[in-house]
Amino acid sequence: MKIQYLSTFITVLTTGSFSAAAKELVTSQATVSNHIAALEKDLGTKVFIRTTKGVELTEAGKILQETTKKIFEEIEKAKMIIASTEKGLQGEIKIAASTIPGEHILPSLISEFRREYPAVKFKITVTDSINSLQSLTDNEVHFAAVGSLEGFEGIIEFIQIGEEELVLIVPPNHELAKKKVVQPQDLRNYPFVYREDKSGTRQETRKMFSDQRISVSDLDVVLEFGSTESVITAVSEGTGISIVSSIAARKAEAAGIVKTIRLEGAKNMRKFYVTRLQKKELPKAMENFWVFCRHFKFKHKTSKFQD
């Protein structure tokens, strides 16, 4: 079984048809058909069912899909290790990051990466999600680590590196502090401290409010801040309540300066990503970092009510 046949198999799967795969691979449809036929001969069974809409996987095809994914991941990992062994990996990687990835996730990711590649240096700029992605598209950085992809989906590729829950935070002595859950609609009754408009937290919170048919104008927004830490400080001092990252909230709650509360019925899970520009070739150190991110998963306890 040739790796080339497996590559053709994956291309047919991702493009949806033999003709589209041929175009993607810059080859003929007959060549694609021959590769799949040879693959099916090796396996002794069909991997695709042709339909009027393209192709569908057989049960054997589904098994091959999972196995092929693992094979290619191992090949990439082997290339990365061989390259670093034969010639020490070095260089500087520039990353623009929004607050939570920049302050809470990247330190762990980079620490693990540098255990294998100690000569690689990093320069991290912490800002908000939109400015981080804008720095990426302006070629000011090699990667952006963000909590929202909104507005940039068509020009970047991404890898998920973590997940968290957005939670309500209130001062320890607040009347809501004794509650385990709060309805999102109830937030309209209290002064609210918000992240600035370009932050990933703000964008994801806006989506959550929209699902609950709540607009920003319904809230009594008394302050807006450019960082999560500033929001937490304002809440701890009794300025208002807010919705923030559970990663940051847990640390503040452990310090006794805020209380975290679950928002009932809200779609408030969000993901964090490392992103880069589509089809952009990068130096070896950057490519190895990208591959490394595929195998990384940030682990944390989001808040005590999830223990």
Q: What is the CATH number of the domain that holds 36?
A: 1.10.10.10
Looking at 58, 85, 112, the residue that finishes a domain is 85
CA 139 from chain center: how many Å?
A: 20
| Cα dist from 215 to 33, 176, 236, whole Å | 53, 21, 25
Q: Is residue 305 part of a domain?
A: no
Same domain membership, residue 231 and residue 221: yes
User: pLDDT value at position 88?
Assistant: 61
Q: In the 8-state DSSP scheme, what is residue 216? A: G
* Number of domains the chain is built from: 3
Same domain membership, residue 253 and residue 203: yes
Q: Is residue 306 part of a domain?
A: no
User: pLDDT value at position 85?
Assistant: 57
239: domain range?
163-269
Given a contact cutoff of 8 angstroms between Cβ atoms, the answer to whether 274 and 157 are in contact is no
How far apart (Å, rounded) are the C-alpha atoms in residues 130 and 168?
23
Same domain membership, residue 173 and residue 251: yes
Same domain membership, residue 158 and residue 278: yes
Q: Is residue 250 part of a domain?
A: yes
Q: Is residue 301 part of a domain?
A: no
Q: Is residue 302 part of a domain?
A: no
CA 295 from chain center: how many Å?
A: 13
How far apart (Å, rounded) are the C-alpha atoms in residues 9 and 31?
12
Same domain membership, residue 32 and residue 154: no
Same domain membership, residue 287 and residue 152: yes
Listed residue (262, 242, 250) closest to 304, CA to CA: 250
Provide φ and ψ at 70, rounded to 5°.
Answer: -65, -40
| Cα dist from 171 to 184, 231, 235, 304, whole Å | 17, 12, 6, 16
Same domain membership, residue 263 and residue 284: no
Looking at 70, 85, 100, the residue that finishes a domain is 85
Q: Is residue 132 part of a domain?
A: yes
Same domain membership, residue 158 and residue 70: no
Same domain membership, residue 242 and residue 170: yes
Same domain membership, residue 173 and residue 134: no
User: pLDDT value at position 81?
Assistant: 67
Looking at 38, 64, 85, the residue that finishes a domain is 85
Q: What residues in the chain have per-residue pLDDT under 50?
A: 301-307
Same domain membership, residue 177 and residue 250: yes
CATH number for position 219: 3.40.190.10
In the block, tokens 């609210």 appear at: 192
Residues paired with 271 in a beta bridge: 163
How far apart (Å, rounded) are the C-alpha atoms in residues 67 and 72?
9
Q: Is residue 303 part of a domain?
A: no
Same domain membership, residue 278 and residue 157: yes
| Cα dist from 85 to 88, 115, 153, whole Å | 6, 14, 35
Phi-psi region of 204 (alpha: psi -120 to 50; beta: other; left: phi over 0): alpha
Q: Is residue 228 part of a domain?
A: yes
Cβ partners under 8 Å of residue 263, min gap 6: 166, 167, 168, 181, 182, 183, 184, 208, 243
User: Measured over all CA atoms, what is the biggest interatomic distance in the chain, rounded to whole angstroms?
Assistant: 72
End-to-end CA distance of the chain: 47
| Cα dist from 227 to 30, 144, 248, whole Å | 56, 17, 11
What residue type is assigned to position 55 of the chain?
V
Cβ partners under 8 Å of residue 270, min gap 6: 147, 148, 163, 164, 165, 166, 200, 204
Given a contact cutoff of 8 angstroms between Cβ atoms, the answer to whether 167 and 262 are in contact is yes
Given a contact cutoff of 8 angstroms between Cβ atoms, the answer to whether 226 and 232 are in contact is no
Sign of the torsion formed by the C-alpha atoms of 231, 234, 239 and 242: positive
